[in-house]
Amino acid sequence: MTAAIDHQLKMFISRAEKLFGARDSGFDVTPVEVGAFDDAPIIWYPTKHAGRQMTVRLKREVLQFPHQLRYQLAHEAVHFLSPAPVRAPLIEEGLAVWFSLQVSKPFYVAETSKQMPVNYRRALEFALHFMKRIPLPRLREYRVSNPAFHAWTPEMLVADLGFDTNYATEACTIVDMRI
């Protein structure tokens, strides 16, 4: 079972890389951990202080709900592009929400959209707007020299992408999504 989940995660990471640009290949993707984790789903660094390994922690219950599992894995896959044991900025979370909906079945998208928490909706709307201004090929190109979303600063986005300060600051705001 977990081998299939690992495979699915790797497929999503690879799809996310095709859309948003390469991940930091200095981090190894280790097997997904499934258990009674209070804060799961979450990106997990098994050897936080010693190594460059990362994976996803899932709650055991999600294994019974394949569409939810898919949604969660796809969201976390986007976080593999920019490893950091810190919370992610709004733009990264927004792309994660968008991508997780992209790979979900229409009925699940409809269901999820009805009850989407306000911070998810905000992140998604920001990402949709961002992708209109900065099409994906341009984003991929920008991430070649600026791969880590958490290292983006408002000043960079103003200078490099022509954003106004408020929009650039919003993109870089750290948000607590819990996944």
Residues engaged in binding Zn ion (CB under 5 A): 93, 96, 177, 179
Of 93 and 170, which CB lies nearer to Zn ion in the complex structure?
93
Distance CA 10, CA 74 (A): 10
Q: Is the dihedral of CA 31, 85, 39, 130 positive or negative?
A: negative
Distance CA 17, CA 41 (A): 21
Of 171 and 179, which CB lies nearer to Zn ion in the complex structure?
179
CB 69, CB 58: distance < 8 Å = yes
Q: How far is the CB of 44 from Zn ion (least distance, A)?
A: 13
Of 112 and 158, which CB lies nearer to Zn ion in the complex structure?
112
Q: How far is the CB of 76 from Zn ion (least distance, A)?
A: 7
Q: How far is the CB of 34 from Zn ion (least distance, A)?
A: 18
Q: How far is the CB of 141 from Zn ion (least distance, A)?
A: 24
What is the token pair recorded at 152?
């983006």
CB 16, CB 75: distance < 8 Å = no
Of 97 and 141, which CB lies nearer to Zn ion in the complex structure?
97
